[in-house]
Amino acid sequence: MFTADRAPSLKTVLLATGVVLTLAMGVRHGFGFWMQPISQANGWTRETYSLAQAMQNLMWGAFGPFAGMAADRFGTMRVVLVGAVSYMLGLVWMATITHPTMFVLGSGVFIGIGLACTAFGAVSGIIGRVAPVEKRSWAFGISGAASSFGQFMMMPIEQQLISAVGWQSAFYILGGLIVLLMVPMAFHLREPAVTHAHGPQQSIREAASEALGNRSFLFLLTGYFVCGFQVVFIGVHLPAYLKDKGIANPSVAVMALALIGLFNIFGSYYAGKLGGRFPKRYLLSTIYFSRSVVISLFLLAPLMPASVYLFAAAMGVLWLSTVPLTNGIIAGVFGVKHMSMLAGIVFFSHQLGSFLGVWLGGYLYTSTGSYDIVWGIAIALGVMSGLINLPISERPVVRAQVA
């Protein structure tokens, strides 16, 4: 049971979850900067580090539903506290372990738990429960914008830390920062247990079975798989791709990833805002179709810093704008009692896509010396996801009344 007697205000929840998401997503988005220094220091190919990143994303998704269940049952505060400590331990692990198998497994488990307990799935429940129905989609948009601000803010910080103190010390500093800032914010996320005086009372198993038997929920799962494939492949492999293509100045990659974060602040916010006025399924389809167009234009245009920045800005608008819309559909169709768990299940699909995108990028690069095949897969998946989101139904499920 939760320990608080009354729910915190929406303003408090958005502020506290904003800080948590800023750090959780901001640090994670910069992991691509460590690919080359860690690989060179340990004598690894890019495939080893790519596999570690893939494992982190897979474990993030695997632990996500359980973190969501815990947040719904025991409170978001406790889950975020566990996540902050695990995240810190994962960063220390990445700084100290040199055995490739242990590096992949340990960082996968620690970072995976850390992200599962501090990212969207874990905090979506308290946001959905505190926000009024008419502001729910907007509130999800605000949380998405906070994570994007983290990416924008943390990209140059992480790159400068690596340059100034070395890649190992940079991990130590970030681990300390996560604990020092996340832990105080967690205590602002106490909430009372969710009670429903009327209507059916669902167990966790019943809620999960209902969702997994719903066609629209399965469409959301498929679309989110594509989202994960695209954004994590780009986020991790873009710096190396640019260097391979002759753009050796690391500041170009730093600026590109920062621009993705900056423009996604606006993309996430306005996606949430528009989701309160227009059918969310059509907005999701538009985002996925647009991603395929943007990637295609990027590959066809002459590669130079200006084209990289334009690509980053366009992708930034589309980057995590899927999150408030997807969570908005889940809350509207299934309610908010098991919101964190259902968001965690959907996010597991996202992370399966993330695992495949980041690992396949490293594997095919090692095999072929090029990222061309993976870019083509990302374009095709975007078109498929745009089509599969169109028939989603946003009507609330009708449940039999309990006598």
**How much of the chain exceeds pLDDT 70, in percent?**
95
The predicted structure's pLDDT at residue 403:
39
Structural domain total, the chain: 1
Residue 4 lies in a domain: no
Query: Do 149 and 22 touch, CB atoms closer than 8 A?
Result: yes
The predicted structure's pLDDT at residue 117:
92
Residue 402 lies in a domain: no
Those residues whose C-beta lies under 8 Å from the C-beta of residue 206, and which sit 6 or more positions away, are none
Residue 4 has pLDDT above 60, yes or no: no
The predicted structure's pLDDT at residue 198:
47
φ, ψ at 232 (rounded to 5°): -75, -35
- pLDDT for 140-175, tens place per residue? 878 777 777 877 788 788 888 998 999 999 999 999
Mean pLDDT of the 305-322 span: 92
Q: Cα dist. 238→32, 111, 158, 191, 392 in Å?
A: 8, 21, 16, 40, 32
Amino acid in position 176: G
- The owner of tokens 């331990």 is 89
The predicted structure's pLDDT at residue 379:
96
- pLDDT for 219-258, tens place per residue? 999 999 999 999 889 988 888 889 888 887 878 888 888 8
Query: Do 297 and 184 touch, CB atoms closer than 8 A?
Result: no
Can you say whether the dihedral through the CA atoms of 75, 81, 82, 87 is positive or negative? positive
Mean pLDDT of the 305-333 span: 90
Mean pLDDT of the 294-313 span: 94
The predicted structure's pLDDT at residue 281:
92
| Residue 153: CA count within 13 A, CB half-sphere | 15
- For the chain, give the mean pLDDT: 86
Residue 199 lies in a domain: no
Residue 146 lies in a domain: yes
- pLDDT for 180-210, tens place per residue? 999 999 998 887 655 544 445 677 788 888 8
More confident residue, 396 or 315: 315
Residue 5 lies in a domain: no
Tell me the angle at which helices 100-118 and 10-29 cross, rounded to the nearest 10 degrees: 160
Residue 224 lies in a domain: yes
Distance CA 74, CA 96 (A): 33
Amino acid in position 145: A
Distance CA 41, CA 29 (A): 21
- Indicate which CATH number applies to the domain containing 268: 1.20.1250.20
Query: Which range marks the domain in which residue 294 is found?
Result: 12-191+204-389
- pLDDT for 76-109, tens place per residue? 899 999 999 999 999 999 999 999 999 999 988 9
Mean pLDDT of the 339-357 span: 85
Residue 45 lies in a domain: yes
Locate 369 and state its tokens: 């010396």
Residue 402 has pLDDT above 50, yes or no: no
Mean pLDDT of the 60-64 span: 85
Residue 3 lies in a domain: no
pTM for the complete prediction? Answer: 0.75
Residue 386 has pLDDT above 90, yes or no: yes
The predicted structure's pLDDT at residue 347:
83
φ, ψ at 118 (rounded to 5°): -130, -5
Amino acid in position 74: F
Of the listed ranges 119-123, 293-297, 299-303, the least confidently predicted one is 119-123
